[in-house]
Chains A and B, each alone.
Chain A
């Protein structure tokens, strides 16, 4: 126990004494907290510019164009004579859709015929396409319902019944947890988990590869702390640092950015314990494998982005191949992003994230165990210069 405390104190001091670690863990966390959310802060796309090609030029076609322009989704910024010239503007990214109203639009409506309109929406950007297509379809439907009601009254249907007729069975869609459909509300909760994950992973990797990682260098105790005390002491030190950073990321930042949070603080903190410990374990293993701080930095920098898509957050788990999904559970972020968003954003009870909670504890034991074995092996003097251990060190050493 005393040994654990020695390691713990020493490791905690190193976090603030070693400049690279401090800059990743503290400066990096602060920087990302401000920098990362910037693209998403406007939450939703508004007034996506489109062009109207009005082949009809009647009051009905102008009414349609006016209503499309009045939606919050779309702004009609150009009126062009033909599709060809409008297409060029799409290629130039001046507009993202073309609404073509054919000749005889009004005449067909007055004759009681279907009077189709055509929308060419830029689908090379997914969100823009959704906005334009959704906005125009909604306007056409409302306008169509008005016309339909008028026609029914015209053929002698009771007005009360006629106004129900266009839509006899209303579909009311109730968006849950992110009622505005905001992009920041969608991306940031998951992204914050991933940022915490990557920053802690790099920091632990650096701590394990920079000078002074071996606790026996810092203590005159005899005997020096054993492998088990070393691993446990280090993990506790990381837990203490994260006890400050994690609540800032998962509770203060969402509040400051105005993200809805339905879950309580306590369940979040309960899940945070195995989250931090499993990353710490993984970080210790990474440090033991790569052995040089520069290689830890290089390798971990590049691999963060794909983790996001493994968590079933941006891309549904149901369509990820099962083998890939199973393998992805070895990375703490997969369970953590899913578990934390359900706890905090959906307000799920802790019992609902039982699986993720146990998985993170499992990873803690798994990676902690591997780190412990590597630590035991490292201390056996005859293995110190064993071939396997030396190979990577040589390959990434800093000079010729």
Chain B
């Protein structure tokens, strides 16, 4: 047996004890490493195309003229849409949309060419499925780029027929052209947009629930918290030793996925890498302390995990990646503000695609720091309360009336 004096209490004792504990639980270890990495790999595969191109649409050509054929060619030639099928009547096209085979139906009316040249302004109708909002909008983008291009040729001939010089007529076609610059994301790549945001969301769930689990086990077992504190030789070394092994694992997961994103998939890293790392560290710590706090407040551990899941798994919507927070109601805006992920993603967007100047970068990072300090403080406070209560009971102080009755 080891002499008592040879075991030196302190941070490293608790740290290595936790590492050992984690090593003997392959499933938990897999949950905090392989599960998020595997999900990341899956999502990378799903979005591997980067841009959604050549989305199938149907065409109903009732005119069969040179004009209608050239419109169809142009629609097929845009990057967004592909004419995958010709239908004979409207009902058939509708059926194709309902069965999910196409995302839209372009209808070219009878006598289109004749009416255009007679100045009767015939209507070209595009029916598109906006139930799938993004996809529907992409098909519309393709069609609404192609049809005016076809119309431009006609407009030009109308002017030259009036004796206007070609170059002047050309300028006339679009008196106020808009040069649109997509700031920060010139290719409008979907991968930048979603992939970079989904992993932190998944990781947020994993970090909160895994921390609740690992601490919950200690809370549920009698005397374990006291032993832990004694092993750590104080409150803070014990907390640090308990939390840090996971922090290191999560940092590795985050860094590994980031090196895939920036290194292999070549996502832009316009900002400062070190700021991104600081934000990542604060994000991880605040999620961990949130999980720890839940485990200290809620018993049994299953409840702590349930509440953690309940708070974090719908978080993606509240963090404003799909639908921006700007458009949310007050409740959703407020709830988004108390999620660490919201601020981490803000900092992440700042430091990856936006390249925000340093002086404007600090707000989300300071908010995350405030979360870390606040949550760690609450954890310490809760532990002190629990300890005081245990000490009171151990000292044999008569319990208060309320405690005695419960």
B4, CB-defined interface residue at 8 Å: no
Minimum CB–CB distance for A94 against chain B, Å: 10
In the complex, which residues of chain B have a beta carbon less than 8 angstroms from the beta carbon of A130? 137
The residues of B that contact A396 with a CB separation of less than 8 Å are 25, 27-28
**Contact indicator B302/A305 (Cβ below 8 Å):** no
Task: Report A83-100 CB contacts with B as 1/0, cut-off 8 Å.
Answer: 000001011100010000
Nearest chain A residue, comparing its CB with the CB of B38:
A303
Which of B55, B147, B314 neighbours the largest number of chain A CB atoms within 10 Å of its CB?
A: B314
The interface bits of chain A over 117-144 (1 if a CB of B lies within 8 angstroms of the residue's CB, else 0) are 1111111111111100100110011011
Chain A residues with CB under 8 Å of B164's CB are 155
| Contact bitstring A297-334, B, C-beta under 8 A = 1, else 0 | 11101111110011011111011110010000000000
A176 within 8 A of B: yes
- Is B406 among interface residues, defined by CB-CB distance under 8 A? no
B258 to chain A, nearest CB (A): 17
Chain B residue nearest in CB terms to A320:
B46
Instruction: Judge whether A39 and B317 touch: CB under 8 Å.
Output: yes
Q: A178 contacts the other chain (Cβ, under 8 Å)?
A: yes
Asked if A38 and B181 sit within 8 Å, CB to CB, the answer is: no
B155 within 8 A of A: yes
- Distance of A198 Cα from B164 Cα, bound (Å): 66
Contact status A168-B310, CB under 8 Å = no
Q: Are B314 and A302 in contact (CB under 8 A)?
A: no
Nearest A residue to B177 via CB reads A116
Write the chain B residue with the least CB distance to A161: B119
For the complex, give the distance between the alpha carbons of A115 and B48 in Å: 40
| A187: Cβ under 8 A from any B Cβ | yes
Q: A140-B178, A315-B47 are in contact. Are A171 and B309 (CB under 8 A)?
A: no
- Chain B's closest residue to A189 (CB) is B131
With contacts A172-B126, A299-B35, A302-B35 taken as known, whether A148 is within 8 angstroms of B158 at the C-beta atoms is no
CA distance A312 to B100 in the complex (A): 10
Contact with A along B128-162 (1 / 0, CB 8 A): 11111111110010011001101100110011001
Q: How far is the CA of A313 from the CA of B206 in the complex (A)?
A: 25
Complex partner residue of A48 from B168, B221, B326, CB under 8 angstroms: B326
Pair A140/B176 contact, Cβ less than 8 Å: yes
Name which of B233-241, B350-358, B385-393 contacts chain A.
B350-358
Determine whether B172 belongs to the interface, using a CB cutoff of 8 Å to chain A: yes
Interchain CA distance A164-B326 in the complex, whole Å: 39
How distant is the Cα of A301 from the Cα of B36 in the complex, in angstroms? 12
Q: Report B364 CB to chain A, min CB distance, Å.
A: 10
Is A321 within 8 A of B151, CB to CB?
no
- A399 is contacted by which of B99, B221, B305 (Cβ under 8 Å)? B221
> Are A395 and B26 CB-contacts (below 8 A) given A155-B162, A172-B123?
yes
Which of B100, B103, B180 touches A119 (beta carbons < 8 Å)?
B180
| Given A36-B314, A168-B116, A392-B27, CB of A173 within 8 Å of CB of B327 | no
- Is B248 an interface residue, CB under 8 A from the partner? no
Kindly list chain B residues whose C-beta atoms are within 8 Å of the C-beta of A243. none
Q: Are A169 and B154 in contact (CB under 8 A)?
A: yes
Q: Does A170 contact B (CB under 8 A)?
A: yes
Q: Is the interface of B mostly helix, strand, loop or mixed?
A: helix
For A181, the chain B residues whose CB sits under 8 A away are 130, 133, 137
Judged by a CB distance under 8 angstroms, whether B336 is at the interface is yes
Q: Quick one: which of B121, B178, B202, B356 has the most chain A CB within 10 A?
A: B178
Query: CB distance A400 to B21 under 8 Å?
Result: yes
Residue A165 at the chain B interface, CB threshold 8 Å: yes
Contact assessment for B201 and A305 in the assembled complex, using a CB-CB cutoff below 8 Å: yes
Set of chain A residues within 8 Å of B179, measured between Cβ atoms: 116-119
Measured between alpha carbons, how far is A178 from B103 in the docked complex, in Å? Answer: 13
Q: Which residues of the partner chain B approach A270 to less than 8 Å between Cβ atoms?
A: none
Residue B158 contacts which of A168, A185, A295, A321 (CB distance < 8 angstroms)? A168
The distance in angstroms between the C-alpha atoms of A342 and B159, with both chains bound, is 47
| B112 contacts partner chain A, Cβ-Cβ < 8 Å | yes
Q: Separation in Å of the B357 CB from the closest CB of chain A?
A: 6
Is B7 engaged at the interface, CB distance under 8 Å to the other chain?
no
Q: Is the CB of A38 within 8 A of B27?
A: no
The reply to whether A176 and B217 contact each other, CB–CB distance below 8 Å, is no
Q: In the complex, A130 Cα to B327 Cα: how many Å?
A: 14
A385 at the interface (CB under 8 A from B): no
B49 neighbours in A (Cβ, 8 Å): 319-320
A82 surroundings in chain B (CB, below 8 A):
none
Whole-angstrom distance between the Cβ of B26 and the nearest chain A Cβ: 5
Q: Which residues of B contact A113 (CB under 8 A)?
A: 171
Known: A91-B360, A170-B122. A345 touches B131 (CB 8 A): yes
Q: Does A41 contact B (CB under 8 A)?
A: yes
CA of A23 to CA of B305 in the docked complex: distance in angstroms? 12
C-alpha gap A347/B190 in the complex (Å): 29
Residue B198 contacts which of A28, A38, A306, A346 (CB distance < 8 angstroms)?
Answer: A306
Scoring B residues 180 to 201 as 1 if CB is less than 8 Å from chain A, else 0, what string do you get? 1111111010100110001001
Choose from A109, A117, A294, A295 the contact partner of B178 (Cβ within 8 Å). A117
B322 interface residue per 8 A CB criterion: yes
Quick check: B326 and A169 within 8 Å, CB to CB?
no
On chain A, the residues within 8 Å of B111 by CB distance are none
B315 to chain A, nearest CB (A): 9
Counting from the closest, the 7 A-B pairs by CB-CB distance are: A123-B182, A348-B98, A123-B185, A186-B133, A319-B49, A175-B130, A178-B130
- The 19 listed contacts between A and B (C-beta, < 8 Å) are A28-B310, A39-B336, A42-B329, A44-B327, A45-B327, A90-B183, A96-B326, A124-B184, A124-B353, A129-B188, A151-B172, A155-B162, A164-B119, A164-B120, A183-B322, A294-B301, A345-B131, A346-B97, A346-B129
A contact set with B: CB distance below 8 Å: 20, 23-24, 28, 31-32, 35-36, 38-42, 44-46, 48, 64, 88, 90-92, 96, 109, 112-130, 133, 136-137, 140-141, 143-144, 147-148, 151-152, 155-157, 160-161, 164-179, 181, 183, 185-187, 189, 198, 290, 293-295, 297-299, 301-306, 309-310, 312-316, 318-321, 324, 338, 341-342, 345-349, 352, 392, 395-396, 398-400
